[in-house]
Amino acid sequence: MATTKSEKTIDQEVKTPGEEVKTPGEEVKAEERVDVHIPRGNINDEPNLFVAVNGVSYLLPKGKTSKVPKHIADEIRRSIRAKETQDANIDKLLEKK
């Protein structure tokens, strides 16, 4: 069956007048950004911290303050708390020996 120029195929995106189509990067720009400081770490550590949430990744320099979306800052803080908890648990286990 032949189609004419005025007919839309299933593959084509249909956009109503006045509707905006946002790309994934535009959604991140509209979010509230907060300052987050990444601790420097040891001399042998990587100089940057890699953070990825829902397919969006960030490479943040250690020892500096960066502006990131709030959900990224929350994930960084959660990761730091998890590392501190792990270190405390390891210390408890080593004391029992």
The answer to whether position 79 is within a domain reads: yes
Q: Which residue has the higher pLDDT, 21 or 91?
A: 91
- For the four alpha carbons of 76, 77, 80 and 85, in that order, the dihedral sign comes to negative
Task: Grade residue 10 by pLDDT with cuts at 50, 70 and 90.
Answer: very low
The answer to whether position 16 is within a domain reads: no
The answer to whether position 18 is within a domain reads: no
The answer to whether position 6 is within a domain reads: no
Per the structure, the count of domains in the chain is 1
The answer to whether position 55 is within a domain reads: yes
The answer to whether position 53 is within a domain reads: yes
Report pLDDT digits (tens) over 20-69.
445 555 554 567 999 999 988 888 889 999 999 999 999 999 999 999 99
The answer to whether position 21 is within a domain reads: no
Q: Which domain holds residue 84?
A: 29-96
Rounded to 5 degrees, what angle do the CA atoms 24, 25, 26 make? 95
Read off φ and ψ for residue 42, nearest 5 degrees. -75, 165
Task: Grade residue 9 by pLDDT with cuts at 50, 70 and 90.
Answer: very low
